[in-house]
Amino acid sequence: MKKREKSARLMTAHQAIFHCPVCRGEMSVREASGMVCTQGHRFDIARQGYINLTVGPVRSSYGKDLFDARQNVIQSGAFDPLHAELISRIEGPAGDQPAPRYLLDAGCGEGSHLAAVCRQLEDRGQPVLGLGLDLAKSGIQAAAREYGDCLWAVADLADPPLRDASFDVLLNILSPASYGTFRRLLRPGGTILKVVPGEEHLRELREEYDTLKDGGAYSNRETVHLFSRQYPDFRQELMTWTVPVDDERLAVIARMSPLSWHRTPDAGERLFKRGIRDITFSVVVLEGQAGPDREPSVVSERLEEK
């Protein structure tokens, strides 16, 4: 089956979670070509198998090279410890799971985290439907190309075209949050898992690349504080591990991070001369539960976290 038809079939089964980005009307899939709302606004399913639900021009500074590098690094297993942790937080009791649970990855980029989490949950007999959203079209294209078992959409994360209370689990991994939106989309009792960089994350790269403003170390304090205001009963866990690298892998890891945007001309060269053989990965997993009340509040992050 062609990618577009496979996606259209999956989208048809779950079309109730979408609403029209223009008029908020109900949407339905029309054959394999796209979705149409009750007022006739139309959105195409690309041949790669994703749907574009944006209205008007979209600008994203993240390009194909960065997403390809991330896909390569994540597929190589560099984030496996994180995926195991996320799964342990999401996994329900064994058996008795007839209906799939809905997972949203808000800011999914090239999709590897969501795809890995969904695949492993399915392997454990836990049916899930994963939807990945990102405003970066090149990220969504890379996701759809690799992972046909999830749904992928280019969409505005500040106001995603999704029905209220559609999701059991919301992932927000190394990507800016939009808490009002998250509150609207999570079902009562649903779980949000936000992953932010630990202060040691990619330490070996940060040491070489000139990203330290005001001479201070990178801090996630403000991000964690914002999360705690939204979910006062939150819990957090710091995870740190190292990934062995050779020069080739080191180059890919350097490419996956926007840190490389700011590097001084000879920083890349210095990085290789240091003979680095391990890279530190460090993240904080923040977990919150949606209460019975889904009243949106208007707090969003100013920090760019990628």
Q: Which part of the chain contacts Zn ion (CB under 5 A), choosing from 14-22, 108-116, 257-265, 288-296?
A: 14-22
- Residue from 9, 25, 125, 222 binding Zn ion (CB under 5 A): 25
CA distance 241 to 132: 26
The SS3 call for residue 111 is coil
Nearest Cα neighbor of 101 from 209, 183, 227, 187 is 187
Tell me the two tokens of residue 11: 């989208």
- Where does this chain touch Zn ion (CB under 5 A) — which range of 10-18, 20-28, 74-82, 119-127? 20-28
Q: Which CB atom, from 163 or from 294, has the smaller least distance to Zn ion?
A: 163
| Shortest distance in whole angstroms from residue 24 CB to Zn ion | 7
Minimum distance between the CB of residue 40 and Zn ion, rounded to whole angstroms?
7
Min. distance of Cβ 36 from Zn ion in angstroms?
8
What torsion, rounded to 10 degrees, do the Cα atoms 177, 97, 91, 119 define? -80
Q: How far is CA 65 from CA 54, 149, 237, 275, in A?
A: 23, 23, 31, 24
Alpha-helix residue ranges (DSSP H) falling in 3-50: 3-13
Taking the complex as a whole, how short is the minimal distance between the CB of residue 55 and Zn ion, in angstroms?
Answer: 10
Question: Of 291, 300, 288, 298, which is closest to residue 192 (Cα–Cα)?
Answer: 288
Q: How far apart are CA 257 and CA 173, in angstroms?
A: 14
Instruction: Give the residue with the Cβ less far from Zn ion, 27 or 143.
Output: 27
Give the count of residues interacting with Zn ion (CB under 5 A): 7
> Which residue number, 39 or 297, has a Cβ lying nearer to Zn ion?
39
In the complex, minimum distance from the CB of residue 34 to Zn ion, in angstroms, rounded to a whole number: 13
Q: Which stretch binds Zn ion (CB under 5 A): 31-39, 47-55, 66-74, 142-150?
A: 31-39
DSSP state of 19: B
Which part of the chain contacts Zn ion (CB under 5 A), choosing from 32-40, 44-52, 133-141, 252-260?
Answer: 32-40
Q: Which stretch binds Zn ion (CB under 5 A): 16-24, 110-118, 135-143, 254-262?
A: 16-24
Extract the runs of DSSP E, i.e. beta strands, from 10-138. Answer: 27-30, 34-37, 42-44, 51-52, 101-106, 128-134
Q: Counting contacts by CB under 5 A, is residue 23 touching Zn ion? A: yes
**Among positions 8, 11, 17, 20, the unique one binding Zn ion when judged by CB under 5 A:** 20
Stretch of 12-20, 47-55, 226-234, 256-264 lying at the interface with Zn ion (CB under 5 A): 12-20
24 φψ region: left (φ > 0), alpha (ψ -120 to 50), beta (else): left
Tokens at 145, concatenated: 């190309």
Distance in Å, CB of 274 to Zn ion, minimum: 55
Q: Minimum distance between the CB of residue 27 and Zn ion, rounded to whole angstroms?
A: 8
Name the residue among 245, 217, 223 with its Cα closest to residue 236: 223
Mask: binding to Zn ion, 35-54, rule CB under 5 A, as x and -? --x-x-x-------------
Provide the 8-state DSSP code for 52. Answer: E
Binding site for Zn ion (CB under 5 A): 20, 22-23, 25, 37, 39, 41
